[in-house]
Chain A
Amino acid sequence: SQQGEEDPQALSIQEGENATMNCSYKTSINNLQWYRQNSGRGLVHLILIRSNEREKHSGRLRVTLDTSKKSSSLLITASRAADTASYFCATVPNSGNTPLVFGKGTRLSVIA
């Protein structure tokens, strides 16, 4: 089963614009992670935010976490055509040593 729901399912923007993707989840978590996947390839870890953190930055990425609303957002600033990919949020539940649970992803298209 998949815990997270990303929103929107698909997003198309112009190069240079910012892209915001949202993720909602159901159970309490230890941490939340964002991954990127180019078409037909494996997943690449982008950023991890722990349940006691509210915001985290990495380069052009900014992640927020609101545990009261069970939601997270990923912001990519100054997008580039190379950012075109699917983006997934994944959670590590609080219930012991359980594996990552992924959402269905947001397909981002950045048009040059």
Chain B
Amino acid sequence: DTGVSQDPRHKITKRGQNVTFRCDPISEHNRLYWYRQTLGQGPEFLTYFQNEAQLEKSRLLSDRFSAERPKGSFSTLEIQRTEQGDSAMYLCASSAYGYTFGSGTRLTVV
């Protein structure tokens, strides 16, 4: 287990389609975070889990976004009816004490 893995690395989708991203955290880490980053900006918090419980959601997370972490292991982030404004890098991180980030999934909505 060498770190946090995110899949896919890149996703191009047409507006209106649904997309799902996966994050595999470091196995001993009980907390998992999703962030979104647009060009030239810092990462913005979306949501986080402690084990399988989703403890906090940002106001950025509209009704079209849903995240799950079944069994407290990997997590998925789904965006329904994608819009061009959803184009961004989606970053996942896990932590026990310090944060370890994955390489991100770059989403482009055309």
- The chain A residues found within 8 Å of chain B, CB to CB, are 1-2, 4, 33, 35, 40-45, 48, 88, 90, 97-105
Contacts and interface: CB of A to CB of B under 8 A. Distances in A.
Given A97-B55, A99-B48, A99-B56, A42 B103 contact: yes
Contacts of B6: 42
Most chain B CB atoms below 10 A, which of A45, A48, A90? A45
21 contacts: A1-B44, A2-B41, A2-B42, A2-B44, A40-B89, A40-B106, A42-B4, A42-B6, A42-B104, A43-B43, A43-B91, A44-B101, A45-B99, A45-B101, A88-B42, A99-B56, A102-B42, A102-B44, A104-B41, A105-B41, A105-B42
B44 A43 contact: no
B25 interface: no
B100 interface: yes
Given A104-B41, A104-B42, A105-B42, A45 B100 contact: yes
Contacts of A100: 33, 45, 93, 99
Contacts of B93: 43, 100
The 9 closest A-B pairs by CB, nearest first: A102-B42, A42-B101, A42-B103, A43-B101, A104-B42, A102-B43, A99-B45, A88-B42, A105-B42
Interface residues of B, number: 25
A44 to B, nearest CB: 7
Nearest to B44: A2
B69 to A, nearest CB: 15
A41 B6 CA distance: 12
Nearest to B104: A42
Contacts of A41: 103-104
